[in-house]
Amino acid sequence: MGSSDGRASTSAAGARFAVVGNPENRRVTLFADAVRAAGLPGPRLVAWQDVLRDGGAGFGAGEIVRIDSPGENAEVDRLLRGEGEPTRVAGSARWYAGFVTALGTLRGGLRLDDPDDLAVLFDKRRCHAVLDAAGVPVPASPTSGPGAAPVHGWDDVRALMREHRMPRLFVKPAHGSSASGVLAVESAGGGRIRATTSVERAADGALHNSLKVRRYDREPEIAAIVDALAPDGLHLERWLPKAAQQGRAADLRVVVVGGRATHAVVRTSRSPLTNLHLGGSRGDLDAARQAVEAAGARWSDVLGVCERAAACFPRTLCVGVDLLPAVDWRRAAVGEVNAFGDLLPRLTGLPGSGAEGLDTYAAQVRAALHHFAPQYPEGTPHALARPGR
C-alpha cells in the first residue's frame, strides 16, 4: 500500500506500470509524473497509434496497465474514424466501434480499466440504462433501457418531446465526449425552438466542433444538425433545472478512485454547457457544500451519489462523474460518467477522502499499488483484480 505522501511502500517497490495512450498528451505525462513521484520507474508507454496499426499489444503478467484517452491526436483519430477533418463531429459510431475493437486486442497485464466497462461508458444509452437500473438518480430518458425509442432524426426528437412532455432536453451523440455534438434544446409557445451547442455548421452542411458556444433559433437549422448526427446514434435526456452560483448554472465533476470520491470541482457557465473548455469556469466548492448543508442535505450523501454511480463499473479504478445539483441543492442527478474524467491539473483531494495532498493521478497510483501490490501474486481480493484478456 502506498504511504500517505503518495510514495510507494517497500512491498510495492517492484511494481511496474504501463500506459496505453498518446505520448504527447498531458494526461500521459501527468500520470507518468505521479508514478515516478511514488518512487517507481516511469511507466512503459504503448502508443495508441502502434496498437491500432499493429493489431494490438501485450503486457507482462505483473504489469499494471492504465488505458488512457485516444483523443487529441490527429493520426489516431484518422485510424479510428477514417479520413476527414479532426474537428468534424460525424463519425462517432465508427470511432466507438474501432475503440472497442482495439480494447479487445490488448493482452495480459493487470488492468485498471475494464474493456466491458469502457464499452458501456462510451455509449450514453447503455450507461444511462445501467445507472437507472442500479437506482442511481439520472435525468429521464426515452432512449435507454427496455423499450428504448430509436431516433432517426429531428422528426423523432420532436415526437418524443411531445410524447414525454419534455419541452427542454439535451440531445447527445451516443458515443460523444467533451460535449461534442451536444445540443441543449428548448421549445416555447408558438412553436418556437432554440438550441445551444458548440456545433458549428459549415456552408456545405458539415458539422464541426468549436470552442464557441452558439445558439440556433431556426428550426430548419436545428433539424439539419440533428439529422446529420442521427446516423451515429442519439441519446435524449430531460433538461433538469440546475443550481446556480453567482447567477451562473453550476454542476460538479467528481472523480471517484477505488470506489471513493476523492476530488471535486464546481463548473459554472452562463450557457447550459458547463465544460471548462467551452468557456465554463471553476466555481466555489466550499460554497456548494455549504449550500447543500443549508438546504438540510448532507455533503456526504451528494458524494455518495457519485460513488454509487462508480460502483456500477467495479472493474474500473477511476471515473469522473458529472453531477447535476437541483436548484434547491437538496438533490442531485448523474448526467454523465466519464471513463477519462480525471484531467483536473493541480487539484488535490477532498478532506477526509484519503487523497488529501494528492492530485487525481497520484491518488490513482496509490490505489493501484494497494490493489495490485506484488504481495498478492495470486491476485487481490478487490473486484479490480481480474487479469486483462
Q: Note the pTM of the prediction, 2 decimals.
A: 0.92
pLDDT of residue 86: 87
Predicted pLDDT of residue 128: 98
Strands 183-187 and 57-67, by their bridges, are unpaired
- Contact criterion met (CB below 8 Å) for 183 and 226: yes
Cα–Cα distance for residue pair 61/214, rounded to 1 Å? 49
Cell of 195: 438550441
Collect all residues with Cβ–Cβ distance below 8 Å to 331 and sequence separation of at least 6: 137, 297, 325
Q: How many residues does the chain have?
A: 389
H helix runs in the chain, sequence order: 26-37, 48-54, 74-81, 92-103, 115-121, 124-133, 154-163, 219-229, 285-294, 299-310, 360-372
pLDDT at 191: 80
Q: Cα–Cα distance between 127 and 134 in angstroms, integer?
A: 11
Burial annotation 189-220 (CB, 10 A radius, 16+ → b, else e): eeeebbbbbbbbbeeeeebbbeeebeebeebe
pLDDT per residue of the chain (389 residues) written in tens, 0 to 9: 333 344 444 345 578 999 999 999 999 999 999 999 999 999 999 999 999 999 999 999 999 999 999 999 999 999 999 999 889 999 999 999 999 999 999 999 999 999 999 999 999 999 999 999 999 999 999 999 888 989 999 999 999 999 999 999 999 999 988 888 999 999 987 789 999 999 999 888 899 998 889 999 999 999 999 999 999 999 999 999 989 999 999 999 999 999 999 999 999 998 888 887 877 789 999 999 999 999 999 999 999 999 999 999 999 999 999 999 999 999 999 999 999 999 999 999 999 999 999 999 999 999 999 988 754 444 333 344 444 44
